[in-house]
């Protein structure tokens, strides 16, 4: 026969200070799990949504996987448009985007310098970068820039600093902010976009970093690959944008592994903290547990009741931490080497955090309960 459910719940209320401290400790550990898993899921989503399988990137063969180091001739876009039929064309406009992409020191209106990601584009860029949407303002004219939703996070400045009408300084000249844009969570959101020719003039460069082309269908990529192979003199390589970001996922795989390792370490530390708290709690209840055995309750029933107390606290901690994570941590933006992204508390993060929280309640209660019930009833009744 098991002890009544109310017995374990009432026991928690009899020791409010200890129960409150245990609840706080379990909530803190569970919240840390939510933060780390949210970081991993946010990084994965940012890379996953950045790649368009119908977009082909053409850049320098010698740059390997670093587009920032790529340098190709400014005539390459026209040459590709004239040589290929795989690119989408509407009303005589070829859907390709010549771009100059680089990292630059950016000084904002509050005189805060930061390293920003700058992309020089033409008005055809939105035809290829189909996730990009203007959220406010206008397309940048000469001497103007538009900033991504997470550009302020990347620069490490408040969002208000990059309001429309404010100025920033980069590449030795001042630029006025004309608009803002979003890209459905893609990595573009941490970038600053400006007119391609303006950026070439400011950086004293006449080359490009890459050409992004929107293909008619996924099978059309073979034509682009064939062109790059035949024109070896141009030293070009072509890769699907989705494949490029999959490569970046592999590049950041050690970071994700480290994140899951941190989850394991935090959970382990939480289990040991729970053990310490439960040992302290049960040390003063030895005679109570022995008296329950005298009244006829089996050790298994008492063990279940003690675990029930741990599960009640763990469930409450998971609920509190989960609510806090969904309301205040989900969508929180962080800086990273690739730019910036938002923490994502999705179903996997919630499942991981709650599972670890409940596991802490069970594993934290079992060992001290077993130890307390291991001794004989006569000895336990004499315990102080």
Q: How far is CA 209 from the centre of its chain?
A: 27
Q: Which of 355, 359, 338, 356 is nearest to 42 (CA)?
A: 338
Distant-in-sequence, close-in-space partners of 384: CB < 8 Å, separation ≥ 6:
none
Confidence class of residue 284 from pLDDT cuts 50, 70 and 90?
low
Largest interatomic CA distance in the chain: 95
Residue in 6, 26, 71, 85 with CA at minimum distance from that of residue 276: 26
Residue 294 CB coordination number (10 Å) = 11
% the chain with pLDDT above 70: 93
pLDDT at 224 exceeding the cut of 80: yes
> What six digits make up the tokens of 342?
């938002």
Q: Please, which pLDDT band fits residue 302 given cuts at 50, 70 and 90?
A: confident
Residue 15, pLDDT score = 79
Per the model's pLDDT, the better-predicted residue between 84 and 64 turns out to be 84
Tell me, what's the pLDDT at 278? 67
Asked if 192 and 117 touch (Cβ cutoff 8 Å), the reply is: yes
**Residue 4 gets which letter from DSSP?**
P
User: What is the rounded CA–CA span in Å between residue 375 and residue 380?
Assistant: 7
HSE-up (13 A, CA, CB side) for residue 313: 34
Distance CA 26, CA 40 (A): 22
Residue burial 149-162, b: 16+ Cβ < 10 Å; e: rest = bbbbbbbebeeebb
Rounded to an integer, the average pLDDT of 117-127 is 94
**DSSP 8-state code for residue 62:** G
- Please say if the pLDDT value at position 97 is more than 90: yes
User: Is 244:210 a contact under the CB 8 Å cutoff?
Assistant: no
Strand 113-121 with 167-170, pairing? unpaired
Rounded to the nearest 10 degrees, the angle between the axes of helix 16-50 and helix 241-251 is: 140
Residue 352 CA: distances (Å) to CA of 30, 34, 141, 267, 275: 9, 8, 47, 11, 21
pLDDT digits (tens, 9 = 90+) for 18-62: 788 888 888 988 898 899 899 999 988 888 888 888 999 999 988
Is residue 279's pLDDT more than 70? Answer: no
Q: Are 270 and 22 in contact (CB under 8 A)?
A: no
Segment 302-311 mean pLDDT: 81
């Amino acid at each position: 026969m098991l002890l009544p459910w109310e017995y374990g719940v009432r026991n928690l209320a009899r020791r409010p200070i200890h129960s409150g401290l245990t609840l706080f400790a379990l909530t803190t550990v569970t919240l840390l799990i939510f933060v780390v898993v949210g970081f991993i899921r946010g990084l994965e989503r940012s890379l996953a949504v950045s790649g368009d399988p119908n977009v082909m990137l053409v850049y320098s063969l010698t740059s390997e996987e670093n587009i920032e180091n790529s340098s190709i001739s400014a005539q390459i876009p026209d040459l590709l448009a004239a040589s290929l039929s795989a690119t989408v064309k509407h009303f005589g406009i070829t859907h390709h985007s010549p771009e100059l992409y680089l990292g630059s020191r950016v000084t904002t209106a509050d005189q805060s310098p930061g390293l920003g990601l700058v992309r020089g584009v033409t008005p055809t860029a939105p035809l290829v970068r189909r996730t990009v949407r203007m959220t406010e303002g206008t397309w940048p004219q000469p001497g103007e820039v538009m900033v991504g939703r997470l550009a302020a996070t990347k620069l490490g400045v408040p969002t208000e600093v990059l309001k429309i009408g404010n100025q920033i300084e980069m590449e030795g000249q001042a630029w006025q902010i004309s608009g803002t844009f979003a890209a459905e969570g893609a990595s573009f959101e941490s970038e600053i976009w400006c007119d391609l020719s303006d950026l070439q003039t400011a950086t004293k460069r006449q080359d490009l970093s890459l050409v992004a082309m929107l293909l008619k269908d996924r099978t059309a990529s073979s034509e682009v690959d064939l062109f790059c192979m035949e024109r070896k003199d141009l030293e070009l390589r072509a890769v699907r944008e989705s494949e490029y970001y999959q490569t970046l996922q592999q590049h950041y795989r050690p970071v994700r592994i480290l994140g899951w390792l941190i989850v394991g370490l935090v959970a382990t530390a939480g289990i040991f903290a729970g053990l310490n708290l439960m040992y302290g709690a049960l040390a003063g209840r030895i005679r109570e547990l022995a008296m329950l055995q005298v009244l006829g309750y089996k050790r298994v029933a008492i063990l279940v009741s003690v675990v029930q107390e741990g599960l009640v606290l763990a469930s409450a901690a998971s609920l509190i931490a989960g609510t806090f994570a969904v309301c205040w941590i989900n969508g929180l933006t962080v800086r990273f080497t690739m730019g910036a992204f938002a923490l994502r508390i999705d179903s996997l993060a919630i499942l991981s955090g709650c599972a670890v929280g409940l596991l802490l309640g069970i594993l934290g209660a079992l060992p001290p309960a077993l130890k307390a019930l291991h001794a004989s009833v006569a000895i336990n009744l004499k315990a102080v």
